[in-house]
Amino acid sequence: MRKTLTKSEVDALKKVGFIGADRAAKALSQIVGETIGVDVPSAGIIPLPELPGRVGGKEELVVGIYLPIRGDVKGSTLILFPQKSALMLADLFMKKEMGTAKNLDKRNKSALEEIGNILSGYCLAALSDFLGMELLEYVPDLTYDMGGAVMEHILVKFGHEVEQVFMLKIEFNIRKIRLPVYFFLLFSIEEAGIISKAIKARAGG
């Protein structure tokens, strides 16, 4: 079973990620009443040991939303908002001036959960369509803590059965401010093999 994806397979996933993120951005735009642009500047396979330092400093605050997936394959996604992205998106959602929130309180957390739901919903739907597989979301959990600690959770949970994860970097563009959000696909080797086959079939190898 191949453990890595080819360039064309990564490109295919990048496009799928863009479709999902774009639809999510449109939905969010409608909710907040502002134009939200989206870009997917990078996508690729990350070796698991590199995860903790990958999305900023290990002690930097992030919001992590962990979402189990069931259906034709079993796995999970992790959406990671660096602190600035989390606070500004929460402000936007709450119809406040971006830069207002300095910390994540209960209401901002709820807003981020909503945003996370929308993003994961559209991205998983796009992936589902592309793969021709049923991917169902289960109840997510949100944490607001050190980025290193959130990434460690992935490492420890998957460390003995997975060597790498798929990472998508999404950038929301609101009034010329770029807010990065990271989307990770996490599957055990067996499940990854099933997905890999489906990607190959659709990406044309």
Partner 1 sequence: MQDEIEVDVAEMEVANAPTRLISLGIGSCIVITLYDPALRIGALAHTMLPDSTKCSQSNNPFKYADLAVVEMIKRLEGMGCRKQDLEANLIGRANMFPHIPTLGVKETGEEDCMAVKKKLREEGIELTGEAIGGNSGRSVEFDTSTGTVTIKKIKI
Q: Which residues bind partner 1 (CB under 8 A)?
A: 49, 52, 57-59, 61, 64, 66, 68, 103-104, 139, 141, 143-153, 155-157, 159-161
Kindly state the smallest distance separating residue 178's Cβ from partner 1, in Å. Answer: 24
Q: How far is it, in rounded angstroms, from Cα 44 to Cα 31?
A: 31
Kindly state the smallest distance separating residue 167's Cβ from partner 1, in Å. Answer: 17
CB atoms near residue 101 (< 10 Å): 21
Q: How far is it, in rounded angstroms, from Cα 205 to Cα 200?
A: 5
Distance of CA 154 to the CA centre of its chain: 13
CB-wise, 19 or 51, nearer to partner 1? 51
CB-wise, 20 or 148, nearer to partner 1? 148
CB-wise, 57 or 132, nearer to partner 1? 57
CB-wise, 19 or 165, nearer to partner 1? 165
Q: How far is it, in rounded angstroms, from Cα 185 to Cα 76?
A: 6
CB-wise, 34 or 161, nearer to partner 1? 161
Kindly state the smallest distance separating residue 80's Cβ from partner 1, in Å. Answer: 12
Q: How far is it, in rounded angstroms, from Cα 152 to Cα 50?
A: 10
Instruction: Please report, for residues 5, 123, 127, 190, 203, the alpha-carbon distance to residue 199 in angstroms, rounded to integers and kept in the order given.
Output: 9, 15, 10, 15, 6
Q: Strand, helix or coil at 133?
A: coil
Kindly state the smallest distance separating residue 1's Cβ from partner 1, in Å. Answer: 16
Whether the CB-CB separation of 79 and 120 falls below 8 Å is answered with yes
CB-wise, 10 or 154, nearer to partner 1? 154
Q: Strand, helix or coil at 6?
A: coil
Q: How far is it, in rounded angstroms, from Cα 143 to Cα 24?
A: 21
Kindly state the smallest distance separating residue 85's Cβ from partner 1, in Å. Answer: 17
Kindly state the smallest distance separating residue 82's Cβ from partner 1, in Å. Answer: 13
Tokens of 35: 């134009």
